Amino acid sequence: MNSLFFPALLTGIFCYLGAIETPWLFGMSGGFYIVGRPLVAGLLVGLAFGDIKNGILCGLAVQAVFIANLSTGGATNSEITYAAYGGIGLAMATTKNPAIAVTLAILIGQTFGLIFYNGRMALYSFWNTRAEKAAHENNDRGIVLNHLVYPQITTFLLRAVPVFLAIYFGKGLVNWLISSIPEIVTHIIQVLGGVLPALGIAMLMSIVIKSKPHFIFFLAGFVLLAFAKLSMIAIVFIAALVAYLYYLASGKNTVSAAGSTVGDNDQTVNTDDEYEDEDLF
């Protein structure tokens, strides 16, 4: 048990550093977008537990599910940092099985992660009121304290402590659960670990696919990997090329649209036929 103390503590601290509101790493850029990503969390938790390879494998599996984690307007669908650090940390403390990491991450993210996140968002109104009062009173020090210092202490306590406790004391519970569940359930969890990334990607699709014809490009990307077995980097280059062609083509459309008020839909559908029509005008 004792050997778990420092890895669990480090994981808790990383969970704080990966928070959306942490200022140390250029705000959201370094906190939420870098340290907060499960892929990076896998590396960091792996370092904390002294097993980088398994850490990254767990991180990889969890990242796939949370690929589309979105935070728009302060609302969040699942608390990614608690999910990543709690899930990967507990998995590393017990079985080091990526599928277990995914299951735990979802469980933690959807339940106590969201509770803590929403609780903190509500709690911060208290500091906000004091910061606003400081602004009214021309009190520079009050703004700094209530914008930076006190909220950060609050968030540190609300992130590092629960994750530390969950890993330190949750190990026994998770071990007991894993050893006592029947084999078919383990198999289902294993299959689910592979399927749940579909949810993350589906959510990403619902943002980027803005009109039905866009689905063709989705299919093109899928086929380039599934059939042609191209690497991700190669596909990014091909996609950039296609995007550039699309940019050029949409330019042609807007020029003619000025004259003939072509509907918005026509701008998103760029078939060759339309080109020829445009040239005729």
Partner 1 sequence: MANSNSTEPQKLLSKHELNQIWYRWGFTHLSSMSYEKLQGHAWAYSYLPFARKYYKNDPEKKRRLLERHSMFYNTEPQTGQIINGIVASLEEQIALGNDVSEEMPVTIKATLMGPLAGIGDSIIQGIIVPILLSIGMSLAKGGSPIGPLFYIIAYGIIGPTISYIAFHSGYRLGVGAIDTIVGENSKRITDAFNILGVMVVGALAANTIVLKTIAKIPQGGKSAPLQGVLDGIFPGLLPLAMVILGWWLVSSKQMTATKVIIIMVVIVTLGCLVGLF
Near partner 1 in 133-162, by CB under 8 A = 135-138, 140, 143-144, 146-148, 151-152
Residue 183 Cα distances to 95, 107, 270, angstroms: 15, 20, 52
42 binds partner 1, rule: CB under 8 A: yes
115 binds partner 1, rule: CB under 8 A: no
72 binds partner 1, rule: CB under 8 A: yes
Q: In whole angstroms, what is the distance from residue 177 CA to residue 12 CA? A: 23
84 binds partner 1, rule: CB under 8 A: no
From 3, 206, 265, 271, residue interacting with partner 1 (rule: CB under 8 A): 206
Q: In whole angstroms, what is the distance from residue 174 CA to residue 171 CA? A: 5
Token pair, residue 246, equals 């699309």
Helices (DSSP H) in 32-146: which residue ranges? Answer: 38-49, 52-65, 80-93, 98-108, 114-136, 140-144
Judged by beta carbon, residue 175 or residue 267, the one nearer partner 1 is 267
- H or E stretch covering 199: helix 197-208
Break the chain down into helix, strand, coil percent, rounded to 5: 80, 0, 20
Query: Which phi and psi (to 5°) does residue 57 adopt?
Result: -65, -40
217-256: contacts with partner 1 (CB under 8 A): 217-227, 230-233, 235-236, 238-240, 242-244, 246-247, 250-251, 254
87-106: contacts with partner 1 (CB under 8 A): 106
Shortest gap between Cβ of 240 and partner 1 (angstroms)? 6
Shortest gap between Cβ of 15 and partner 1 (angstroms)? 16
Q: In whole angstroms, what is the distance from residue 21 CA to residue 16 CA? A: 9
Q: CB under 8 A: which stretch of 10-18, 37-45, 87-95, 157-165 binds partner 1?
A: 37-45
Q: CB under 8 A: which stretch of 2-10, 86-94, 215-223, 273-281 binds partner 1?
A: 215-223
Shortest gap between Cβ of 1 and partner 1 (angstroms)? 27
Shortest gap between Cβ of 9 and partner 1 (angstroms)? 21
Judged by beta carbon, residue 251 or residue 259, the one nearer partner 1 is 251
End-to-end CA distance of the chain: 78
From 4, 9, 39, 177, residue interacting with partner 1 (rule: CB under 8 A): 39
Judged by beta carbon, residue 5 or residue 246, the one nearer partner 1 is 246
Q: In whole angstroms, what is the distance from residue 195 CA to residue 191 CA? A: 6
Shortest gap between Cβ of 78 and partner 1 (angstroms)? 6
Judged by beta carbon, residue 139 or residue 175, the one nearer partner 1 is 139
Which residues on adjacent β-strands are paired with residue 72?
75
From 95, 110, 175, 256, residue interacting with partner 1 (rule: CB under 8 A): 110
| Total of chain residues touching partner 1, rule CB under 8 A | 112
**In 3D, which of 161, 160, 154, 162 has the Cα closest to residue 126?**
154
Judge contact between 45 and 55, C-beta under 8 A. yes
209 binds partner 1, rule: CB under 8 A: yes
